[in-house]
Amino acid sequence: MLDVGDGHRIYVEQCGNPKGRPVLVLHGGPGGGCSPFMRRFFDPAHYHVILFDQRGCGRSTPSASVTANTTQHLIADIALIRERMGIGRWLLFGGSWGATLAMAYAEAHPDHVTGLILRGVFLGTTAELDWFYGGGAARFFPELWAQFQEPIPTAERDDMIAAYHRRLFDADLGRQGRFALPWLMWENALAGLQSAPVSHAPADYARAFARLENHYFLNRCFLDEGQLLRDRARIEHLPVVIVQGRYDMVCPPATAAALAQGWPGADLRIVPASGHALSEPRISAELVRVMDTIRDEDREAKGA
């Protein structure tokens, strides 16, 4: 548990080879937290893997807190973790919101990054949020969109993020919980190509996930509009591999294509018959392939 100030303590773990190539894993959400599954993309004999639960989620405390919880705070936390662990430069591995945070951190600290592996790219733009919360994705999932809208009065449905915010941040904890689950259900139901709609989740997890994600999205991820593409030149000297599901309904492939276009070291891999989730079989297999290729290239370079 690392004290990062502002009343926050964040959970940090490391695994693999302490002398291996450092790689930082950035989970999605915001608010998702890390899981043991996220360790499995890295050969433990080769990689020094660092994972952490971002402020307010997972095992970090206080749970579901949005106080002093912005993208800039998370970038500072990552910088502190790197410093405390004595790591000079590291690979960044993140998907969805994790890809957003990886880009934001890399652009803030390009000298501390050796490359990026991104999945299901999300850049925190208004167009992306409008797609998911303004009716775009609803054209493909009208029945699930209706379930998402159902708890909100008709007069407030023109801004679903703001409508849910009023309820997720109500003083009544019970009311927060009642609105956390439908928020979580809408995203989870669309994450996998073959996903069945989620009807339940641990209450504490749902509350933390919904509050944090809603807080970040209400504030447009604490980024200027188009900031990550605008400042891409700061990291264009770095290699990036982008693994993107062809039928990703949460973060459509157009965003990944826009990020890769004109980036000399970009390797965009559109994965067929796949959606958004890290656990999608073809997505997982491709990410393992990417990390094994980097491992093999490292070994070859040392041998040479």
Name the active-site residue from 60, 77, 276, 284.
276
Round to whole Å and give the CA distance between 267 and 25.
Answer: 19
- Of the candidates 148, 178, 176, which has an alpha carbon nearest to the alpha carbon of residue 160? 148
Active site residue 96: yes
- Of the candidates 59, 67, 70, which has an alpha carbon nearest to the alpha carbon of residue 30? 70
Round to whole Å and give the CA distance between 127 and 246.
Answer: 19
Round to whole Å and give the CA distance between 196 and 190.
Answer: 9
- Per DSSP (E only), the strands in the chain are 2-5, 8-10, 12-16, 21-26, 47-52, 90-95, 113-119, 240-245, 266-271
Round to whole Å and give the CA distance between 27 and 39.
Answer: 11
- Of the candidates 133, 139, 101, which has an alpha carbon nearest to the alpha carbon of residue 120? 101
Active site residue 248: yes
Name the active-site residue from 65, 96, 274, 284.
96
Name the active-site residue from 53, 77, 248, 284.
248
- Of the candidates 238, 243, 242, 295, which has an alpha carbon nearest to the alpha carbon of residue 113? 238
Contacts of 296 (CB under 8 A, 6+ apart): none
Active site residue 63: no
Q: Which residue stretches of 192-276 are H helix?
A: 203-218, 227-230, 253-260
Kindly write down the DSSP assignment for every residue of 274-295, as one continuous string. --S-TT-HHHHHHHHHHHHHHH
Beta pairing partners, 61 = 9
The count of residues in the chain is 304
Active site residues: 96, 248, 276
